[in-house]
Structures are given as C-alpha cells and as structure tokens.
Amino acid sequence: MMAHDVADEFYDLPEGTNWFVYGASIVAVGVYWMVVFPLPWVGGLFGLVGLWFVFDGVTTIRYGPSRTTPGYMSDLENEQWGETMLRMQTLNVIYQALKNADGPRTAPELATDLDLTESRIERALEFLEHEGRIEHEKGHYRADPPRWGRLTPVVQFVVWLPRRVSRPFRRVTANA
C-alpha cells in the first residue's frame, strides 16, 4: 500500500487503483494461508474477499466512482485537516441545535444563535438535507428524528452492506 501511495503521488493513478492493490495483497495473504497453514478455508475466504476488492477496483477504474461527494465535502480534498474538522463540528452543532429546538428554525435564526455566518449555515444545512438528516419546509429546517432510534446505525449498515457488495456487479451489468 505504501508503494501504491508513492506511485499515486508521482503518476496520479486513477481512482480505484487503491482498491485493486489492496485486493491483490489480500489475495496474496489468502494464498499464503492456503499453502502454509492447515486451514485452507481461511485462505480461501481471504482470497474471495481479495478478489472482490480487485473486481471493485477494476470496475471503479473502468467506469469511475459510483457516487459523487456533495459540494460541502468534495472541496475538502485539498484543504487542511483543520477545515475538515471545523466543517464536521459545524454539522454536528447545527444538527444538535435543530434537534434541541422547540420548533423549525430558519438559517438566519441558526446563524444568530450559533454565532456563525449565514453562508456557512446554509451550506451545512444543504448538506444535512442531502444526507437526509434534516427536513426543509418553506425556509424552515427541523431535525429528522432517527427512524429506528439507537438501532439506526445498525439498520443503516445492514441496508448498506448488500448494496455495497453488489455495486461492482451492478456497474458491469449497467454498462454491458
């Protein structure tokens, strides 16, 4: 992986190459386990997982990334670590303020209450709305309570995993 990072720095490798390299290294670990240890099923499992990463990397290289990053987070690629943390903190502060509010709030009200600029508030609200964390209705925003309560992250993972595993296969069939 370090060799990939160095090569990526010099040659600007396409997105997905990291998955390809990671998958190839997992396949190598799987082959090693199959040859050296008396548990070939462990090596086979490593190999299968590694082949999936290779396939995902190849489809990402061939067809491009499947999801674009929203504007609020996409321009952070070349930013300093501090700006990334500031934006994450801003998202949390705004969400908590909406969650604890008595009713829907407007962007100017949030800017005044949180002592932030209105433009920063509006960009964060757009992102939170895009992610489905808040609802926007006639200029007012309110927190969208989690549907499953504390189990929401578990439910989201259970829904996400099959979609993520099948994503490279969907790419190939959609572009065939």
DSSP-derived 3-state class of residue 58: helix
More confident residue, 80 or 54: 54
Structure confidence by residue, pLDDT tens digits, 60-114: 988 887 666 566 666 555 556 677 788 889 999 999 999 998 889 999 999 999 9
- The phi, psi pair for 87, rounded to 5°, reads -65, -40
pTM for this entry: 0.67
69: left (phi over 0), alpha (psi -120 to 50) or beta: beta
Q: d(Cα 145, Cα 147) in Å, to the nearest integer?
A: 6
Strands (E), the chain: 134-137, 140-143
Closest CA to 164 of 49, 21, 72: 49
